Copies of this chain bind each other. A is one copy, B any other.
Amino acid sequence: MDADTPVNPVDHTLGRILAAVAAEDHPGEVADYIPELRHADPGLFGVGAVSVMGRRYGAGDTAARFTLQSISKPFVYALALAELGVDVVLDHVGVEPSGAAFNAISFDDAGRPLNPMINAGALVTTALIPGESGAERFERIRQGLSAFAGRRLQPNDAVYRSESETGDRNRALATLARASGVLASGVDDAAEPYFRQCSIEVDCGDIAIMGATLANNGVNPLTGVEVIDARTARRTLSVMASCGMYDRSGEWLFRVGMPAKSGVGGGIVAVVPGEFGIGVFSPPLDPAGNSSRGAALLRTLSREFGLHTFGHPTDPLSPIEAVIVDEAGTVTFDVRGELDFAAVEQVSSAVRERLSAEGSARIVVDLASVTWVSIAAGQLLEALIVTAREAGRDVTTIDPQQRISLAPLAASAE
């Protein structure tokens, strides 16, 4: 952008909030249980955001590198769901919050780790990724995570070796999972690729893109690649929402309301479904293992910008742009935008009210400005028109893009 272009207001806003949080006191300690992580500079602090339109924003230390650690978990889980389907994955790992720490030994009565966000569940998830060996498995994971990020990601070897050298507890969790029949590979063929996926190096822009891919129904908004399907994205977000922030997950959903996942490397990825992916990075961790300033920044963002999952406008945009009555008494409903079930419910209600009030008038439902119709919404619309016709009313549609299919119903009406 040339010099006289004004600084864009999103960057400006992110910078303002980052500076404000940096000026506050958010005590924390750099993780030390993996020796290599101790070297992180506690002063680094950056944020990146990527919209589902693919626009990128950022402030602070956006170029600082860190390792994914547990942030890899939801994305590898998404890859497993996409590869094997939900039933196979649920046979191996549950989706219930454990109320426990990340390295807890939490298995349910069926022998499954409680969820894929704790280490035991993440190891089981990694083992599900197809591969003849641990190395092959990791290569597939690396490719998948790279597709989420839109660039070729690489592990940090020093961190990987450090993880592997101190990884006995994770090997024990994998062995327990194997003993209860839910580890689809050998212990080392799960643990080693898991240590490698944790050691993949990113910056906060990378994880913002990864989050934006989940926000965008699984399609990377920068590359346009569909990494996973929309249903898998939704399921992954559900697990992040209920289990993503360790034993603070409930409070996070309550206060921040964005599906998110933190890693002990100091990163947090957060998602505003349908809108943004956000990545933050600051190494000092709070006692629950979440980046202390990173969490504070996301709380502020959520509060100031109304990003809470369960916040929403009081008066949603009406799907009916206009109701036009011409001289002949014909009533045209000018329907616009995307039609989901709730939108068609509004259209249906308006049309029926008109049918009820002025029984004899001709009704036209104009779908020319409609950009998308969900399956259920289409069925509702079809049912509306067919039942009206069967009752003897004159209802027609303007539907140049054939959003709905009335032929068989119309036939049956005659």
Contacts and interface: CB of A to CB of B under 8 A. Distances in A.
Interface in A76-101: 94-99
Nearest to A170: B179
Contacts of A376: 13, 304-306
Contacts of A393: 6
A97 B387 contact: no
Nearest to A54: B349
Contact of A251 (B1, B96, B105, B272): B96
Interface in A111-139: 114-115
A65 interface: no
Interface string A144-156: 0000000000000
A315 interface: yes
A137 to B, nearest CB: 19
Interface in A1-60: 1-2, 4-10, 12-13, 51-53, 55
Contacts of A10: 345, 348, 380
10 contacts: A5-B391, A96-B97, A168-B178, A217-B312, A219-B314, A238-B310, A239-B254, A242-B254, A273-B309, A306-B374
Given A4-B391, A5-B352, A10-B380, 11 more contacts: A6-B352, A6-B388, A8-B352, A9-B387, A53-B345, A55-B345, A55-B349, A172-B173, A216-B314, A242-B254, A304-B376
